[in-house]
Structure 1
């Protein structure tokens, strides 16, 4: 193209790209963002969730929360629609009923070992207990902070010709 304003085009792309990726509005720096927009919610599962307060509530910042059912433990399975690098897991919970120990790599909530989470598509979290030791754990919001890895999302591909299972 001749006469195109390269800097202007780049600024427009960055404006719309950043606006669509940063759903939470928080700046995590170094290209990190809230990866919840890449979660396949229909492929996720939580064992021991309350029927009235399922995990899907905690994956959205629009309200609602996740509550454990029979005891304080939860097993959370998350599936991303593409490979991601995870640098942090963010829990927002009431101080006394929030998770205390969460196992992904036997950790007490803090900084993740970033090297171990470079090529992630599925993640399972085991919430062992709550801060108060009560029989209930509440998670208002669960966020995964990191960056997507540039890959092809197979869900985006459509059949061009022929029928499923047909050889050409």
Structure 2
């Protein structure tokens, strides 16, 4: 049975947008030949990726739902729109296989992030306000491109196994340390044997990185100083590495950028907004983040969230997707 929802009214679409964190909409018409070509692919994606209240695929007949088509400025058929938390996030006009490939790949990675948020963070991202949490404002003209990270290939070295996995760093939910929610799953990471951490993040596409946002929320209780984790102080960034570095190698290599953080760099929500030397972060396919030391006398450092801000560029080569049409229809 198809999992795709056929929209019969503007109010129904509004309900779906409120109920599901991601909505993928296919705007089509019965007379549109490219629409018929792409329909089987859309159904395959719907069957594979739909999740109740999380990811929903819908079809909108533009002849029957003219008000909806006009509201979202649909002028070419087919048009695919991806909504995130009720707002338009992506748009593909016409039966363009390459563009659809890009959106599907990005959607797949977004779903991985949502799964991590639901499972490993103890469901702390269930509410809209929590899911929209960012920690710091975006620089004007740039977007959050954290969803371009290939989560399955990320690697974090020297992590305490009693804290969260690498996935929690990219969770869009508000950290439990700020939300006040109790959870058996820890939605942060700490270093293990000493204060250093090495994080390898490969990307789906060429990125232009403008800003790095790091959230670190050590507890402020009265435990001994040696037992309380620290915020990062010295960070080294390396670009376009095919795999993670070793700690000795990271110590010796010249970094693309080295960062020194102090107490004044952290805002009220525990986030440091770090501008990068933009000219050195063009056409980036991977990033290695090396936490060299922490700001204090403790033995461990802590990371709660990590966000990449910039622009996504050309997609790297991906597996073939079935051809869905040669020319977009009007």
**TM-score bucket (shorter structure):** 0.7 to 0.9
The 10-residue stretch of structure 1 (77-86 or 130-139) with the greater mean CA deviation from structure 2: 130-139
Q: 2:73 — aligned with what?
A: 8
List per-residue Cα deviations over 1:6-65 (Å, max 9, x = no partner): x9338x9695236999x7566624431222111101111011011232222112133401
**Unaligned stretches of 5+ in structure 2?**
1-68, 92-102, 107-130, 176-186, 219-228, 238-256, 262-273, 324-330
Measure the CA separation in 2 of the matches of 1:72 and 1:143.
21
Change (3 A) 1:18 1:159: closer
In our comparison, the structure showing a higher alpha carbon Rg is: 2
| Alignment partner of 1:123 is 2:275 | no
Runs of 4+ in 1 over 3 A off after TM superposition: 12-15, 18-21, 23-27
- TM-score, normalised with respect to structure 2: 0.41
How many residue pairs get aligned? The number is: 156
Which is bigger in relative contact order (C-alpha 8 A, separation at least 6)? 1
Deviations 1:67-124 (A, max 9, x none): 1111110011111111111011111112672111101122214421111001111111
Question: CA 1:57–1:115 in structure 2 vs 1: closer, same or farther (change >3 Å)?
Answer: same
The residue aligned with 1:102 is 235
Coordinate RMSD, CA, aligned = 3.3
* 2:310 corresponds to which of 146, 159, 166: 146
Q: Is the 8 A contact 1:66 1:140 kept in 2?
A: yes
* Aligned partners of 2:204 and 2:315 also within 8 Å: no
The partner residue of 2:194 within 62, 65, 71 is 71
Q: Following TM superposition, by how much is the alpha carbon of 1:128 offset from its aligned partner in structure 2, in angstroms?
A: 0.8
Query: What is aligned with 2:171?
Result: 60
1:17 aligns to 2:169 (yes or no)? no
TM-score (norm 1): 0.76
Unaligned runs of 5+ in 1: 161-168
- The answer to whether structure 1 residue 31 and structure 2 residue 141 are counterparts is yes
1:159 shift after superposition: 7.7
Structure number with the higher helix fraction is 2
Q: SS of 2:318's equivalent?
A: helix
**Distance 1:108-1:122 versus aligned 2 partners, 3 A rule:** same
Query: Which string of whole-angstrom CA distances, capped at 9 and with x for unpartnered residues, describes residues 116-165 of structure 1?
Result: 0011111111101111131111111011111101x2342352488xxxxx
CA contact under 8 A between 1:39 and 1:81: conserved in structure 2? yes
CA contact (8 A) 2:236 2:292 kept: yes
Q: Cα 1:134–1:114, aligned 2, differ >3 Å: closer, same or farther?
A: same
